[in-house]
């Protein structure tokens, strides 16, 4: 044994997961140059938790974790469902309360519940507020203690959570502290729906419903005072005892976990999705139900279709369940699963895997469709793959961690001694039987070896190096596990490493100093590396940033050849250090997100800062180079600061360049100014009077803020349950604000009553640093509508849950609809692809889709990684693997009407800066959308887009879209680094000009994939040409930059205003906005 440290359950699989993480991380970059994957290796952390010295106990726990996480996550039959659940979880904007409720119900009595409550409590109470008060009281419920956890939430008068506290199970007391003086809505949330929750005072709020909020009493909190006796008298929910039977009606289906869904008896719309049950024993469940009335109950066993009580395969034929009171317990409900036979009929495959491998994985793929049926792992040579339905399988074994032992890894092999699927022998599994003797001998592969030293030539021991085959397969479970070919090696005391067992192909190599793998009794454990923070990792040869992977030198291997002398000399790690503080009070700030952008490319070099309690920080490690440093402090509701580049710059172009040469840079201090806030309510009363929108009438729709000077998107929020909204973290400046309701007959309305961005009635909202502006928007009504269908161009099938956005002629969103939505609420019915935009005025509209596209795939991961303060490697990897394996999940290329493909170019520094400066709605917001991503509320309208003309109060039909399907392997499209000033280009593009707005001059950049004749002109808002910068000139392939100094063709200074740059070449036209300020 090499070390006596025992790891936690998650670390049991650390080596295996680590390899998959590297594969997913690098392939994600390779496929999309996804900014989300700029997450540096340093932020991949595994919590160590308590040490467990009982090896058998650990192995048992590991097997449990394996069953629950690997088998279920990667099982082919549940893959699409889990992918959609993961997408839903990642992308739906939620308040902290909503997020808490979700985690609360999923974790119940598990350790995660306490962690969730503690996290949210810390999040909301990190900094004691001046003049803060509290709310306290008791939960009055039958019994000596609470049967489930009850948490009490306080919402401010704009509908946002301000504080929470868990009631003590035995005393039933709670206290919410650190609340600013003001009024609050207070309500309970009980675990597993165990109680009928309430809003204060005695207003029913089951299932976190706040529809009765107008009947609730607000609780007043005074400065430095305690508001006591805010008590809740909760009724226990009805209890449904459910037993699942196989089709013979007598055999209990003991081998299945299950989830439950509830609908009204006369309405198929699901009231509760994934109703969380209390698991009582095999095949028996107890479900809490906090509603009265007539219902239908559906059960979905793991890996099986839904059955509706009592034994129906479809909702229409389901039996009625009547809940007439909350008192007592119901009789048992027996649900017969017709799809299941009378016996389990599951078999096994057993055998040995021989070779040098330390940690071997054995996969069973269904011969019929190559889907993954199950996995086994072994630390020795014997394996058994369990729970296999009768049928034929291909069995494949792989050794992933042999290179960290002296023997080295070997190459994956199919049964029976086959290198390829075509040569493989099928394995037959009989009903209820074990197929023995499926023995696999791993093959030899190619080898890459070399040495890793520091910049002075000193050898680095216990350093990991990863080799990734760049001949990427199509994303599927079969290809992922049989063709991914990732090798991991570790250096010895002389700095030498060896990666064996490599398949033919081209590999890129990267060092990983943050981790090392140790062995205890043959057990692999991933731990902090001895060189963490001391050297800078790189791709071979000398490429540091993950985004620059394409510049890495590829190493070709073949057969059993050896490629030697692939050596690394790693730079000494360098750091930025300084102090974070409040610019006004000099008070230290100990929470911040920080990113260093590479000056030459604009790519983020993302490391997690180490921030001390008194605000001192260290950010690194970095190689020598020039950087622009961005920091965003305290992403919390109670204290909004402006994010800024070093020395108070707010844009990449204006940021000061910091150079790391041989040593660290000290005293790089940030003093944060308070951000502005715009908040208010939506008024739905017509004419005289005031009636706020809310959960009982109209809510969950976006309010969107645009910069008044150039019309660019700033940020958005969503209307909360009491009609309120809040737009925090705003830069000082002038804005225009629009509400975008999605329900007829309400129309998009700007603050002040304007119909569109350029309407003179659309008032400008001016805010200063630290200012809080209250503004209300009175919604207008309109009777126009546009409808149509969105279908797949390839298959003709409808595309569900796709946004269709209507833009005005300035490119600002003026209406939105979702396909297959009833009143734009998502329903669980067969997809038709139909959408309907309502509340439209007479005028001209430009329509564009926003589906799961190349663009949204990138946008999904940006917040997922950049906004995460604590990445869980286990969860992260399996979330990404699910994305990669969801082969039934189509990605669609969006389109303008009529059939004009949308091509979006990303300015990576701009995108990251936007997220860090303004945050995102899903940090504390809630919306009705089935997915969250940075919705394009503002787009330049292409010349080829066809306008849709709508008469007053008319309905225009058949405005249809046919979307082409994109392959997940081709997500790379249209992702560009806008600040790249040289090199080749792979598409015609007009990149964002900088600076913008500008005073004296601005730089206009274009990319050409080949030598071309181009024309670049500047136009004013009346469509008149101001000046021609390039008239049919011949330009070479690459990235080019033109400068406009703000003069017209006659040499006169152009006036302040909005201008457009038009780039034309080879029947391609691109436009962008310029804002000139004199």
Query: Of 756, 753, 750, nearest to 846 (Cα)?
Result: 756
Q: How far apart are CA 642 and CA 631, in angstroms?
A: 9
What is the token pair recorded at 801? 């849950």
What's the whole-number mean pLDDT along residues 1012-1031? 85
**454 beta partners:** 570
Q: At 919, is the pLDDT very low, low, confident or very high (cuts 50, 70, 90)?
A: low
Angle at 770 between CA 768 and CA 773, to 5 degrees: 70
* Architecture in CATH for domain 347-441: Sandwich (2.60)
Give 557-611 pLDDT, tens digit per residue. 988 899 999 999 999 999 999 999 999 899 898 888 788 888 887 777 767 788 8
Q: What confidence score (pLDDT) does residue 782 get?
A: 95
3-state secondary structure 140-192: ECCCCCCCCCEEEEEECCCCCEEEEEECCCCCCEEEEEEECCEEEEEEEEEHH
Q: At 902, is the pLDDT very low, low, confident or very high (cuts 50, 70, 90)?
A: confident
- Find out whether 915 and 922 touch, Cβ atoms under 8 Å: no
CATH code linked to domain 989-1076: 2.60.40.1930
What's the whole-number mean pLDDT along residues 196-214? 92
Q: Is the dihedral of CA 377, 380, 385, 386 positive or negative?
A: negative
Q: What confidence score (pLDDT) does residue 915 get?
A: 56
Q: 227-241, 560-574, 647-661, 987-1001: which has the minimum mean pLDDT? A: 987-1001
In angstroms, the Cα distances linking 404 to 361, 369, 650, 774 are 16, 35, 47, 61
Q: What confidence score (pLDDT) does residue 171 get?
A: 95
The position carrying tokens 């050849």 is 561
**581 beta partners:** 588, 671
Residue of 374 and 693 predicted with greater confidence: 693
Within 13 Å of residue 4, how many CA atoms lie on the same side as its CB? 0
Q: What confidence score (pLDDT) does residue 239 get?
A: 85
Residue of 250 and 436 predicted with greater confidence: 436
Q: Which CATH superfamily is domain 574-672 in?
A: Carboxypeptidase-like, regulatory domain (2.60.40.1120)
DSSP-derived letter for residue 592 is: E
What's the whole-number mean pLDDT along residues 908-934? 50
Q: What confidence score (pLDDT) does residue 404 get?
A: 57
**242 beta partners:** 285, 333
What's the whole-number mean pLDDT along residues 998-1020? 84
Task: Write b or e for each residue in 312-332: b if 16 or more Cβ atoms lie within 10 A of its Cβ, otherwise e.
Answer: beebeebeebebeebeeebee
What's the whole-number mean pLDDT along residues 887-910? 66
Q: What confidence score (pLDDT) does residue 68 get?
A: 39
Q: What confidence score (pLDDT) does residue 224 get?
A: 95
Give 495-504 pLDDT, tens digit per residue. 999 988 888 8
The position carrying tokens 């309510």 is 681
What is the token pair recorded at 758? 């350029």
Q: How far apart are CA 823 and CA 437, in angstroms?
A: 59
Counting beta carbons within 10 angstroms of the beta carbon of residue 964, is it exposed (0 to 12), middle (13 to 18) or buried (19 or more)? middle
Tell me: cis bond preceding 139? Omega within 30 of 0 counts.
no
- Find out whether 573 and 605 touch, Cβ atoms under 8 Å: no
- Find out whether 459 and 493 touch, Cβ atoms under 8 Å: yes
Query: Do β-strands 676-683 and 772-774 pair in parallel, antiparallel, or remain unpaired?
Result: parallel
- Find out whether 242 and 335 touch, Cβ atoms under 8 Å: yes
What is the token pair recorded at 268? 């198929």
- Find out whether 283 and 253 touch, Cβ atoms under 8 Å: yes
Q: Domain 93-233, CATH 2.130.10.10 — does that match? A: no
Query: Of 536, 528, 516, nearest to 605 (Cα)?
Result: 536
Give 411-433 pLDDT, tens digit per residue. 888 999 898 888 999 999 998 89
Helix segments in 892-965, DSSP class H: 908-918
Query: Do β-strands 133-140 and 226-227 pair in parallel, antiparallel, or remain unpaired?
Result: parallel
Q: Is the dihedral of CA 474, 478, 483, 489 positive or negative?
A: positive
Q: What confidence score (pLDDT) does residue 248 get?
A: 78
At residue 485, the 3 state secondary structure works out as: coil
* Architecture in CATH for domain 446-564: Sandwich (2.60)
Q: Domain 783-853+890-980, CATH 3.30.300.30 — does that match? A: no
Q: How far apart are CA 820 and CA 823, in angstroms?
A: 10
Residue of 791 and 831 predicted with greater confidence: 791
What's the whole-number mean pLDDT along residues 906-930? 50
Q: Please tell me which of 179-188, 315-324, 990-999 the model is most confident about, judged by mean pLDDT.
A: 179-188
Q: Domain 238-336, CATH 3.40.50.10310 — does that match? A: no
Give 608-642 pLDDT, tens digit per residue. 788 888 899 999 999 999 999 988 886 544 567 88
Counting beta carbons within 10 angstroms of the beta carbon of residue 144, is it exposed (0 to 12), middle (13 to 18) or buried (19 or more)? exposed
Q: 396-400, 653-657, 920-924: which has the minimum mean pLDDT? A: 920-924
What's the whole-number mean pLDDT along residues 305-327? 87
The answer for residues whose C-beta is within 8 angstroms of residue 1051's C-beta and 6 or more apart is none
Q: What confidence score (pLDDT) does residue 1068 get?
A: 75
Work out the percent of the chain whose per-residue pLDDT is above 70: 71
- Find out whether 522 and 423 touch, Cβ atoms under 8 Å: no
Q: What confidence score (pLDDT) does residue 480 get?
A: 57
DSSP-derived letter for residue 614 is: T
Q: How far apart are CA 333 and CA 157, in angstroms?
A: 43
- In the chain, where the domains are located: 93-233, 238-336, 347-441, 446-564, 574-672, 677-781, 783-853+890-980, 989-1076
Query: Of 636, 643, 631, 630, nearest to 674 (Cα)?
Result: 643
What is the token pair recorded at 691? 């009636």
Residue of 50 and 539 predicted with greater confidence: 539
Q: What confidence score (pLDDT) does residue 655 get?
A: 87
What is the token pair recorded at 373? 């049926």
What is the token pair recorded at 873? 């490697």
What is the domain class of 677-781 according to CATH?
mainly beta
Q: Please tell me which of 300-314, 422-436, 506-520 the model is most confident about, judged by mean pLDDT.
A: 422-436
The pTM score is: 0.69
Task: Write phi, then psi, for 486 (nearest 5 degrees).
Answer: -105, 130
Query: Of 984, 993, 1008, 979, nearest to 1068 (Cα)?
Result: 1008
What's the whole-number mean pLDDT along residues 264-291? 73
Residue of 635 and 663 predicted with greater confidence: 663
Tell me: cis bond preceding 995? Omega within 30 of 0 counts.
yes
What's the whole-number mean pLDDT along residues 1000-1006? 83
The answer for residues whose C-beta is within 8 angstroms of residue 28's C-beta and 6 or more apart is 34, 36, 37, 861, 880
Counting beta carbons within 10 angstroms of the beta carbon of residue 304, is it exposed (0 to 12), middle (13 to 18) or buried (19 or more)? middle
What's the whole-number mean pLDDT along residues 141-167? 90
Mean pLDDT over each residue of the chain, to the nearest integer: 76
Q: What confidence score (pLDDT) does residue 45 get?
A: 25
The neighbour count for residue 305, using CB atoms within 10 Å, is 12
pLDDT at 37 over 80: no
pLDDT at 726 over 60: yes
Give 794-825 pLDDT, tens digit per residue. 888 898 878 899 999 889 999 999 888 754 44
Query: Of 343, 339, 345, 337, nearest to 249 (Cα)?
Result: 337
Angle at 945 between CA 940 and CA 947, to 5 degrees: 100
Query: Of 682, 849, 709, 715, nearest to 766 (Cα)?
Result: 709
- Find out whether 1008 and 1036 touch, Cβ atoms under 8 Å: yes
Q: What confidence score (pLDDT) does residue 24 get?
A: 38
Residue of 152 and 1068 predicted with greater confidence: 152
Q: How far apart are CA 962 and CA 970, in angstroms?
A: 19
The answer for residues whose C-beta is within 8 angstroms of residue 257's C-beta and 6 or more apart is 279, 301, 302
Q: Is the dihedral of CA 239, 245, 251, 255 positive or negative?
A: negative
Q: Please tell me which of 362-376, 475-489, 572-586, 977-991 the model is most confident about, judged by mean pLDDT.
A: 572-586
- Find out whether 1042 and 962 touch, Cβ atoms under 8 Å: no
Query: Do β-strands 1012-1020 and 1057-1065 pair in parallel, antiparallel, or remain unpaired?
Result: antiparallel
At residue 660, the 3 state secondary structure works out as: strand
Q: Is the dihedral of CA 818, 822, 823, 826 positive or negative?
A: negative
Within 13 Å of residue 406, how many CA atoms lie on the same side as its CB? 2
- Find out whether 418 and 375 touch, Cβ atoms under 8 Å: no
Q: At 918, is the pLDDT very low, low, confident or very high (cuts 50, 70, 90)?
A: low
Reading phi first (left if > 0) and then psi (alpha if -120 to 50, else beta), residue 878 is in alpha
Q: Please tell me which of 61-70, 601-610, 964-973 the model is most confident about, judged by mean pLDDT.
A: 601-610
What's the whole-number mean pLDDT along residues 922-936? 49
What's the whole-number mean pLDDT along residues 286-311? 85
- Find out whether 981 and 906 touch, Cβ atoms under 8 Å: no
The position carrying tokens 């940020």 is 715
Give 1035-1078 pLDDT, tens digit per residue. 877 778 888 988 988 888 888 877 888 888 876 777 777 878 77
Q: What confidence score (pLDDT) does residue 379 get?
A: 73
């Amino acid at each position: 044994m090499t070390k006596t440290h025992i790891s936690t359950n998650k670390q049991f699989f650390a080596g295996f997961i680590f390899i998959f993480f590297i594969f997913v991380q690098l392939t994600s970059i390779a496929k999309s140059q996804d900014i989300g994957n700029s997450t540096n290796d340093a932020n991949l952390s595994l919590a160590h938790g308590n040490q467990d010295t009982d090896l058998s106990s650990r192995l048992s726990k590991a097997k449990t974790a394996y069953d629950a996480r690997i088998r279920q996550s990667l099982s082919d039959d549940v893959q699409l469902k889990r992918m959609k659940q993961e997408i839903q979880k990642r992308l739906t904007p939620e308040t902290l309360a909503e997020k808490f409720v979700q985690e609360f119900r999923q974790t119940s009595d598990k350790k995660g519940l306490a962690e969730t409550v503690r996290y949210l409590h810390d999040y909301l109470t990190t900094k004691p507020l001046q003049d803060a008060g509290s709310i306290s009281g008791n939960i009055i419920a039958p019994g000596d203690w609470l049967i489930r956890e009850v948490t009490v939430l306080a919402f401010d008068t704009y509908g946002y959570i301000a504080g929470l506290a868990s009631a003590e199970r035995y005393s039933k007391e709670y206290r919410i502290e650190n609340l600013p003086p003001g009024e609050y809505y207070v309500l309970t949330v009980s675990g597993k729906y165990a109680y009928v929750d309430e809003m204060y005072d005695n207003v029913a709020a089951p299932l976190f419903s706040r529809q009765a909020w107008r009947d609730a009493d607000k609780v007043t909190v005074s400065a430095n005072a305690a508001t006591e006796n805010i008590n809740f008298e909760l009724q226990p929910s009805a209890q449904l005892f459910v037993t699942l039977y196989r089709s013979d009606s007598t055999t209990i289906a003991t081998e299945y976990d299950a989830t439950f869904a509830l609908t009204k008896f006369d309405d198929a719309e699901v009231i509760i999705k994934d109703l969380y049950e209390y698991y009582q024993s095999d095949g028996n469940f107890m479900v809490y139900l906090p509603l009265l009335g007539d219902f239908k109950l559906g059960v979905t066993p793991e890996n099986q279709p839904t059955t509706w009580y009592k034994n129906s395969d479809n909702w229409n034929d389901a039996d009625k369940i009547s809940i007439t009171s909350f008192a007592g317990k119901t009789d048992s409900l027996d649900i017969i699963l017709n799809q299941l036979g009378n016996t389990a009929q599951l078999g096994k495959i057993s055998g040995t895997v021989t070779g040098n491998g330390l940690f071997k994985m054995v996969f069973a793929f269904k011969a019929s469709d190559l889907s993954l049926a199950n996995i086994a792992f072994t630390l020795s040579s014997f394996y058994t793959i369990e729970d296999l339905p009768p049928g034929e399988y291909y069995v494949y074994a792989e050794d992933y961690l042999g290179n960290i032992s002296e023997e080295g890894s070997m190459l994956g092999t199919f049964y029976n001694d086959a290198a390829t699927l075509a040569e493989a022998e099928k394995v037959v599994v009989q009903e209820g039987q074990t197929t023995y003797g499926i023995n696999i001998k791993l093959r030899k592969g190619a080898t890459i070896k070399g040495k890793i030293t520091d910049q002075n030539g000193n050898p680095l021991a216990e350093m990991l190096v990863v080799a990734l085959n760049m001949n990427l397969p199509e994303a599927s479970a079969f290809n992922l596990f049989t063709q991914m070919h990732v090798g991991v090696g570790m250096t010895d005391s002389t700095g030498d490493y060896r990666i064996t067992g490599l398949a033919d192909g081209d590999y890129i190599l990267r060092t990983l100093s943050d981790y090392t793998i140790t062995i205890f009794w043959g057990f692999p454990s991933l731990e902090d590396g001895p060189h963490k923070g001391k050297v800078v990792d790189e791709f071979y040869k000398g490429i540091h940033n993950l985004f620059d992977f394409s510049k890495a030198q590829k190493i070709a291997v073949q057969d059993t050849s050896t490629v030697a002398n692939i050596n690394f000399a790693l730079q000494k790690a360098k750091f930025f250090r300084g102090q974070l503080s409040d610019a006004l009070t000099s008070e230290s700030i100990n929470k911040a997100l920080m990113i260093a952008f590479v000056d030459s490319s604009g790519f983020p070099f993302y490391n997690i800062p180490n921030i001390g309690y008194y605000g001192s920080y260290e950010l690194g490690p970095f190689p020598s180079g020039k950087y622009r440093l961005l920091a965003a402090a305290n992403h919390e509701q109670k204290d909004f600061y402006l994010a800024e580049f070093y020395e108070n710059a707010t844009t990449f172009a204006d940021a000061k360049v910091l150079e790391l040469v041989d040593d660290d840079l000290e005293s790089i201090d940030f003093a944060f100014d308070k951000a502005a806030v715009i908040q208010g309510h939506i008024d739905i009363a017509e004419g005289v009077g005031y009636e706020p929108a809310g959960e009982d009438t109209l809510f969950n729709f976006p309010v969107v803020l645009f910069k008044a000077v150039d019309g660019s998107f700033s940020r958005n929020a969503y209307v909360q349950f009491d009609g309120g909204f809040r737009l925090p973290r705003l830069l000082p400046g002038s804005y225009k604000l629009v509400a975008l309701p999605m329900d007829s007959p309400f129309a998009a309305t700007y603050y002040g009553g304007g119909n569109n961005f350029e309407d003179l009635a659309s008032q400008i909202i001016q805010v200063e640093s630290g200012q809080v502006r209250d503004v209300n928007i009175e919604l207008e009504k309109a009777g126009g509508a546009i409808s149509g269908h969105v279908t797949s161009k390839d298959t003709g099938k409808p595309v569900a849950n796709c946004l269709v956005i209507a833009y005005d002629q300035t490119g600002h969103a003026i209406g939105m609809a979702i396909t297959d939505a009833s009143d734009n609420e998502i329903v669980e019915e067969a997809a038709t692809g139909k959408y309907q935009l309502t509340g439209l005025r007479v005028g001209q509209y430009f329509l564009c889709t926003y589906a799961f596209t190349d663009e949204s795939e990138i946008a999904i991961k940006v917040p997922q990684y950049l906004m995460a303060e604590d990445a869980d490697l286990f969860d992260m990897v399996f979330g990404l693997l699910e994305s990669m394996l969801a082969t039934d999940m189509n990605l669609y290329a969006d389109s303008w009407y009529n059939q004009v493909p949308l091509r979006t170019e990303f300015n990576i520094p701009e995108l990251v800066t936007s997220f860090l400066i303004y945050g995102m709605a899903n940090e504390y917001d809630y919306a009705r959308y089935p997915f969250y991503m940075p919705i394009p509320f503002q787009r330049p309208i292409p010349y080829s887009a066809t306008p849709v003309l709508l008469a007053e109060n008319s309905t225009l039909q058949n405005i249809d879209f046919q979307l082409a399907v994109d392959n997940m392997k081709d997500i790379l499209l249209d992702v560009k680094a806008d600040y790249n000033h040289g090199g080749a280009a792979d598409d015609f593009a007009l990149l964002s000009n900088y600076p913008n707005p500008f005073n004296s001059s601005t730089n206009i950049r274009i990319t050409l994939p080949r030598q071309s004749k181009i024309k670049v002109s500047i136009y004013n808002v009346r469509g008149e040409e101001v000046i021609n910068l390039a008239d049919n000139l011949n330009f070479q392939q690459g990235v080019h930059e033109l400068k406009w100094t703000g003069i017209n063709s006659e040499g006169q200074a152009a006036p302040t205003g909005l201008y457009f740059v038009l780039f034309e070449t080879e029947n391609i036209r691109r436009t962008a906005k310029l804002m000139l300020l004199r």
